Chains A and B, each alone.
Chain A
Amino acid sequence: MTFPYKGYAGKYLEVDLTKGKTIVKDMVKEWARLYLGGTGISSKILWERTGPETEPLSPENVLVVGTGPFTGVMFSPSGRMMFASKSPLTGIWAESHSGGFFGPEMKYAGFDLIVISGRSPRPVYLFLRDGEAELRDAQHLWGRETDVTTRMIREELRDPSIETAVIGPAGERQVLYGSVIIDFYRAAGRTGLGAVMGSKNLKGIAASGSLPLEAYDMEKYLEANRQEMEKLRDPLWAESLGSLRKYGTTDLVAIINEIGRLPTKNHWTGFYEHADDIGPEIIAERYRIAQEACHGCSIGCKYIYRVRDGRFASAPAGGPEYETLMAFGSNCLNNNIESIMYLGKRCDQLGMDTISCGKSIGFAMELWEKGILDASMTGGLELTWGNIDTMVELVEQIAKREGLGEVLSLGTRRAAEKFGGDAWRYAIHVKGLEASGQDPRAHQSVGLTYATNVRGADHLRSLSSLEELGYPEIVIERFGKEKADKILDIMSPDYKGELIWDMENLYALVDSAVICKYGTMWPPVYYYETFANVLPHLTGMTEWGDVAYVRQASRRIAHLRRAYNHRLGITRKDETLPHRLLKEAMPTGPAKGGLPDLDQMLDEYYDFRGCDKKTGFPKRERLMELGLDYVAEDLEARGMIAK
């Protein structure tokens, strides 16, 4: 039976690079019903096709390129897409999402998902157009930077409307945090999915489509869509949205520094005295030349900048986000904004995650300060804090995997193992993923988010903005009046287990739908009801109209991803924080003295998740009630189920 639901393109593509084969298949009904799209369906596919024995950079690893039912159908803010695989950087669950225009284009080209396995004998790229797929020679593109690659693909196919997802030299050389770059300056940055593509000799994916997407009931869908948009237009959020349009995420430099959570000097502290030098006003005033938005988005957080002259002069390009400003800025004690813009742009061109790259450099700078690294080991480079020349050189070295860059291209966890001694103390990661721009010593629930996040130390799977920015009505509505005060207290660990459990569930859906965190994380407007309101009219899947069903699906996806990691050996002992963020009290700034109470929050989280507190393993009943019988069976056989 063909795939019955609307909103989806209805087909997916199976690519075997070893054989050079592409097969168009009908989407699977159960995938949509139980896992919705994007992250959800990817977790089902990867659970079935990869496991403990899968080497991330081998032909056996599987890369899923996903969209969701919301992609390309005018829901704002959508316009996103995602990748999932087993990570070469962390060895566990990997997913990374990106905005831009590729996701919708892939659906107009006829595909909801692409499932890629094998390794091509020579470099190729995948081209999708109107329901057809073709593997094309990419020998001439190999070695090219991402922007040049995209331009060359558009030219050779004589189609300027082609959108792309490509890797750069870093991904080709399997830098463990190689990224996939979407449409020039948007990135699926984290967890090294660009290296997975590189290992498969897959230079990129290009799409151009003129196929229609339908709604099950167009009028009702548009009406539901309008109702949800109205929530976003509420005057309550006018200021938030106004700021996003004016500054994009760069505004976070100021907001986060104010609460003392801005990673500074390799996470030594959370307050940077020169924060004003790296955003947001200076960017808006001196460098910003235009606002941009992803496909169909009404928020428009992206901006274009230009540096007119000087050493870092640059043609117009997509501006650095908060995370990049942090990673190459405060994190390395570098207050030269033009250099940060340059480093961010180089990372996009070379195809590397700016967070892991900046964090690896900051880590090395601290090792230099502590005397663990010296000039004999750095090829003469001086790794003093804020040394711009060194940073510029290191970014190139990392992408080439040369000199000190060779070991830094492995990320901080593995680099620390190589350096030995006390180096591990300065590797700020969880489960192998370098920490993003937050600090749990200034915001308790961030600690739980980092510890439990299925991909490692990063905010995007469950960060709560509710207590950070203070939204009492929403907290009361979601968690009840009695808990509200404690939840709203950013430095109280109380009820944070429930809070983060709920956020993780919600974001699992957001990432499956596939929509942007703006609108759910900030402003916190869309909730489970949104999906229940919109999905039935869009897709025709009536069961999604029931909020209980929506919530259940969100927990199903969250559990499946966790189980994926358990099977690879992840237990409570890995769901922790780096020593510095757990044990060294915040030394300076507004959050001075702060430390997260991780154990208390973890206990509560495991309770809500239905997991054993000692191991973190799920309880059998919990999996059964979510329809994850096959997961229960597998974990049971491995002794990974809670009694």
Chain B
Amino acid sequence: MREFLTIDIDLCTGCRNCELACSVHHTSTFNPRRARIQVIRDEARNLVIPVVCLQCEHPLCMEACPTGALDYNEAGVLTVDEARCIGCGACVTACKYGGITLDPIERYAIKCDLCGGDPACVAACEYGAIQLVAADLDGLAIRDHNIARVATMLGIAQEEQQ
């Protein structure tokens, strides 16, 4: 069964521990910029929004990749084949959700691979904001709810800007 991460921004405190845990898991160093989950913070508008790959059913990133570097691994999770990635960033542009980015050091694309089924960020979030859910109706409902919250938050923030 397909799975994905979903984040409840009402529980998120913006501590960025998820970024740290992700970078340790994938790079064995502490380096939030190389994390596949990114916490976007805009204090002036009171916005703290963690962004991570949605594990789309029809991934825009995969479609955009000119070299076929994005493919499903044994566990059925879309991952980047670093050897084939040329770092062109087409996937980054294609993904509307900020789910994929270029590694600032290696220059190849990086995205969430769900850590083989036991995501480091979920364990690292002391506030229980990140959940790994199955892509069934329940999981999708949770995700819909969480995305709607982000949308309203952004909406409120924008309204206040005007």
Chain A residues packing against B (C-beta within 8 Å):
72-74, 76, 79, 101, 104, 108, 147, 151, 160, 183-185, 209-215, 218, 222, 289-298, 300, 302, 304, 306, 315-316, 318
Task: Select the stretch in B26-34, B70-78, B81-89, B132-140 that faces chain A.
Answer: B26-34
Give the CA-CA distance A292 to B43 in the complex, in Å.
11
Give the CA-CA distance A425 to B9 in the complex, in Å.
51
Give the CA-CA distance A210 to B30 in the complex, in Å.
10
Complex interface: chain B residues within 8 A of A290 (CB)? 46, 48
Q: Across the two chains, which residue of chain A brings its CB closest to B21?
A: A74
Contact B15 A296 (CB under 8 A): yes
17 A-B contacts (beta carbon < 8 Å): A74-B17, A74-B21, A101-B41, A210-B34, A212-B29, A212-B30, A212-B105, A213-B30, A213-B31, A291-B13, A293-B15, A293-B127, A297-B13, A297-B15, A297-B17, A300-B126, A318-B43
Interface residues of B in 6-30 (CB under 8 A from A): 13-17, 20-21, 23-24, 27-30
Chain B residues packing against A (C-beta within 8 Å):
13-17, 20-21, 23-24, 27-34, 40-46, 48, 104-105, 124, 126-127, 160
Complex interface: chain A residues within 8 A of B48 (CB)? 290, 292
Complex interface: chain A residues within 8 A of B28 (CB)? 214, 218
Contact A183 B43 (CB under 8 A): yes
Where chain A touches its partner, the secondary structure class is: loop
Complex interface: chain B residues within 8 A of A147 (CB)? 44
Contact A222 B34 (CB under 8 A): no
Q: Across the two chains, which residue of chain B brings its CB closest to A291?
A: B13
Complex interface: chain A residues within 8 A of B43 (CB)? 183-185, 318
Q: Across the two chains, which residue of chain A brings its CB closest to B14?
A: A292
Given known A-B contacts A74-B20, A296-B20, A108 and B33 have beta carbons under 8 A apart: yes
Where chain B touches its partner, the secondary structure class is: mixed
Given known A-B contacts A293-B14, A295-B15, A296-B16, A73 and B44 have beta carbons under 8 A apart: no
Q: Of A74, A151, A212, A292, which one neighbours B27 at CB under 8 angstroms? A: A212
Give the CA-CA distance A73 to B27 in the complex, in Å.
13
Contact A300 B24 (CB under 8 A): no
Given contacts A185-B43, A212-B34, A315-B160, 11 further A-B contacts (CB under 8 A): A184-B43, A210-B31, A214-B29, A214-B30, A222-B24, A289-B46, A291-B13, A294-B15, A295-B15, A296-B16, A296-B20
* Interchain nearest-CB distance for A11 vs B (Å): 16
Interface pairs A-B: 8 shortest CB-CB: A212-B29, A316-B46, A210-B33, A293-B15, A298-B126, A293-B13, A212-B31, A210-B104
* Interchain nearest-CB distance for A126 vs B (Å): 20
Contact B15 A74 (CB under 8 A): no
Give the CA-CA distance A72 to B14 in the complex, in Å.
14
Contact B17 A296 (CB under 8 A): yes
Give the CA-CA distance A257 to B105 in the complex, in Å.
53
* Interchain nearest-CB distance for A636 vs B (Å): 44
Give the CA-CA distance A345 to B28 in the complex, in Å.
40
* Interchain nearest-CB distance for A519 vs B (Å): 13
* Interchain nearest-CB distance for B87 vs A (Å): 15
Contact A74 B30 (CB under 8 A): yes
Give the CA-CA distance A74 to B31 in the complex, in Å.
11
Give the CA-CA distance A290 to B16 in the complex, in Å.
16
Complex interface: chain A residues within 8 A of B42 (CB)? 160
Complex interface: chain B residues within 8 A of A222 (CB)? 24
Give the CA-CA distance A294 to B41 in the complex, in Å.
12
Interface centre among B14, B40, B105 (most CB of A within 10 A): B14
Complex interface: chain A residues within 8 A of B29 (CB)? 212-214
Complex interface: chain A residues within 8 A of B127 (CB)? 291, 293, 300
Contact B16 A218 (CB under 8 A): no
Complex interface: chain B residues within 8 A of A211 (CB)? 31
Complex interface: chain A residues within 8 A of B104 (CB)? 210
Give the CA-CA distance A250 to B13 in the complex, in Å.
18
Given known A-B contacts A183-B43, A292-B48, A108 and B31 have beta carbons under 8 A apart: yes
Give the CA-CA distance A316 to B44 in the complex, in Å.
8
Give the CA-CA distance A302 to B41 in the complex, in Å.
15
Give the CA-CA distance A214 to B124 in the complex, in Å.
18
Q: Across the two chains, which residue of chain A brings its CB closest to B153?
A: A290
Complex interface: chain B residues within 8 A of A300 (CB)? 13, 15, 126-127
Complex interface: chain B residues within 8 A of A316 (CB)? 45-46
Q: Across the two chains, which residue of chain A brings its CB closest to B124?
A: A74
* Interchain nearest-CB distance for B42 vs A (Å): 7
Contact A298 B15 (CB under 8 A): yes
* Interchain nearest-CB distance for B66 vs A (Å): 26
Q: Across the two chains, which residue of chain A brings its CB closest to B45?
A: A316
Give the CA-CA distance A290 to B43 in the complex, in Å.
12
Give the CA-CA distance A602 to B100 in the complex, in Å.
60
* Interchain nearest-CB distance for A218 vs B (Å): 6
Complex interface: chain B residues within 8 A of A151 (CB)? 44
Give the CA-CA distance A212 to B24 in the complex, in Å.
10
Q: Of B14, B17, B32, B40, which one neighbours A298 at CB under 8 angstroms? A: B17
Give the CA-CA distance A292 to B48 in the complex, in Å.
9
Contact A304 B32 (CB under 8 A): no
Give the CA-CA distance A104 to B31 in the complex, in Å.
10
Interface centre among B33, B43, B48, B160 (most CB of A within 10 A): B43
Complex interface: chain A residues within 8 A of B45 (CB)? 316
Q: Across the two chains, which residue of chain B brings its CB closest to A317?
A: B46
Complex interface: chain A residues within 8 A of B24 (CB)? 74, 218, 222
